[in-house]
Amino acid sequence: MIKYTIAIVDDEESIRDSLDMVLSPAYTIRLYEDAESFLASLGKGAPDLVLMDIGLPLMNGIDALGQFKADYPKVPVIMITAFEDISMVIQSMKAGAFDFILKPINPDIMELTIQKAVDSIALVKEVHLLQEKFLRENEPCFIGESKNIENVMDFINMVSKSPDTPIMILGETGTGKELIAKAIHARSPVFQGPFIAVNCSAFPEDLIESELFGYEPGAFSGARPQGKRGFIEEAHQGTLFLDEVADMSPAGQAKLLRFLESGEFYKVGGTRKQQVYTRVVSATNKNIDDLVDQEKFRKDLYFRLCVVKADIPSLNQRPDDVLPLAKHFLHEFNLKFKKDLKGFSEEAAGLLLSHNFTGNVRELKNIIERSVLVARTGLVSVSDLGLGSRAPALAPRTSSRESKVIRIPEQGVHLGDILSGIEREYMALAVEQAGGNESRAAKLLNMNHHTFRYRWKKLKD
């Protein structure tokens, strides 16, 4: 059950204390003796409801109401006033007050007024909590410390304000394009509507029209007797997510374009015009601009779908995010497999940072799941990661062709330092062989350029 926060702003201590005593069992109460201290507290977050006296010292309640409403227009404010201040009540109502109660305060009237205000914000509060719950449940998409992931979050917050602007999300497989589409939906004005995801590459050309738009009873051989609602109709008052839209057939593209231009369509076999209001978010892992240039994707449809376009960075472009993500997945699979792994060995962490993630976040999650499942010690080791077969064999540089006998001294060795030294030596050799060109050096070591630069800088510092 949601527990709402009420700010009580009154210069009379007896009124503050009595209201606190009456309301604190059901609400979280914040007490303020003047408008200045109340307004100064808003930097830590606004309450859900405000009870404020009009006759406050220094800044009066009406001036404070105006300042508060300028920043928090949706938070209801109930004004408290003496009977003779009725003209001030009228002023406060014009300034945006939700309601007022008179002194001496009648507890029954106060309870009804507060309940009415709470009812007005209950739906907004519930939606906000559901939105935050979605983001928590899907947070791997948004975990990280890099500037790239900050830009993704800024993009989500910006575009989600519109209920209907078409958005195109570009990015490699496994970057979380559908999760980003869901996050946009979760923060948008159509959040309470459905989120319908359609994989456009999953339907052959002769089925895409009936899947998108539905069909009437008896529309074709094999059609359901009762007909069928299409994905577009299912997405009414919500979000339609068209995944892999670049794989849609030419016929499907033409039919989708007609709908986007008017918001109207006919079911297959139907004569009655249907109208649907939905936001369209599309995504592809292909270079959509090249497909348009090659006339494999309609330019007019491209312009309809790409009113706003976002290019989601691959995990290889976000090396700072690899270990935070890995630690998140480690915690997740510790819970799933009832284990208590503390983290990653230094060598395992280094291998993750140098790995080329062709499957992005999805691949990293699979790697960590396997590691947690097979790990037997307190830390995930290199062998637990299962990446050995993909990593180049490392051997010390030597001008001699004779085999080198390796012995461990009595006092032992620090394996992490040895491996770091080997990594530094190979990276230095690659830079030297590439004539100082870090991009070519990264290719020699089968590494992503961004990961190479990150590791090379770290090893040199």
CATH number at residue 295: 3.40.50.300
Q: Are residues 118 and 45 in the same domain?
A: yes
DSSP secondary structure string, 340-361?
---EE-HHHHHHHHH---TTHH
- Interior/surface letters 177-207, b for 16+ CB within 10 angstroms, e for the rest: bbbbbbbbbbbbebbebebbbbebeebeeee
pLDDT of residue 378: 87
CA distance 32 to 137: 37
Give the CATH number, domain containing residue 100: 3.40.50.2300
Final residue belonging to a domain, choices 67, 101, 131: 131
Residue 64 resides in a domain: yes
Q: Is residue 25's pLDDT more than 60?
A: yes
Give the CATH number, domain containing residue 419: 1.10.8.60
Q: How many residues does the chain have?
A: 461
Q: Are residues 118 and 173 in the same domain?
A: no
Residue 402 resides in a domain: no
For residue 392, name the pLDDT band (cuts at 50, 70, 90).
very low
Residue 261 resides in a domain: yes
How far is residue 450 from each of residues 140, 355, 441, 455, measured CA to CA in Å? Answer: 21, 11, 12, 9
Q: Is residue 415's pLDDT more than 80?
A: no
pLDDT of residue 8: 96
Q: Which residue has the higher pLDDT, 434 or 241?
A: 241
DSSP secondary structure string, 234-287?
HTTTEEEEEETGGGS-HHHHHHHHHHHHHSEEE-BT--SEEE--EEEEEEESS-
pLDDT of residue 391: 39
Q: Are residues 195 and 293 in the same domain?
A: yes
Strand partners, 310: 169
Final residue belonging to a domain, choices 98, 131, 164: 131
- Interior/surface letters 116-133, b for 16+ CB within 10 angstroms, e for the rest: ebbeebeeeeeeeeebee
Query: What's the rounded mean pLDDT across residues 276-286?
Result: 93
Write the CB contacts of 388 (distance below 8 Å, at least 6 apart in sequence): 382
Q: Are residues 89 and 110 in the same domain?
A: yes
Residues 104-126 pLDDT 10s: 888 889 999 999 998 887 766 66
Q: Are residues 258 and 327 in the same domain?
A: no
Residues 344-371 pLDDT 10s: 998 899 999 989 888 888 899 899 999 9
Rounded to 5 degrees, what are φ and ψ at 245?
A: -65, -25
Residue 397 resides in a domain: no
Q: Are residues 123 and 85 in the same domain?
A: yes
For residue 416, name the pLDDT band (cuts at 50, 70, 90).
low
Residues 323-335 pLDDT 10s: 888 888 898 899 8
Q: Are residues 106 and 173 in the same domain?
A: no
pLDDT > 90 in the chain, percent: 33
Q: Which residue has the higher pLDDT, 426 or 99?
A: 99
Angle of the 147-159 helix axis to the 177-186 helix axis, nearest 10: 40
Enter the pTM of the model: 0.55
For residue 456, name the pLDDT band (cuts at 50, 70, 90).
confident
Q: Are residues 99 and 169 in the same domain?
A: no
Residues 212-269 pLDDT 10s: 999 988 888 777 888 889 999 999 999 999 999 998 888 888 889 989 988 888 888 8
Final residue belonging to a domain, choices 246, 280, 313: 313
Q: Are residues 309 and 197 in the same domain?
A: yes
Number of domains in the chain: 3
For residue 389, name the pLDDT band (cuts at 50, 70, 90).
very low
Range of the domain at 32: 5-131
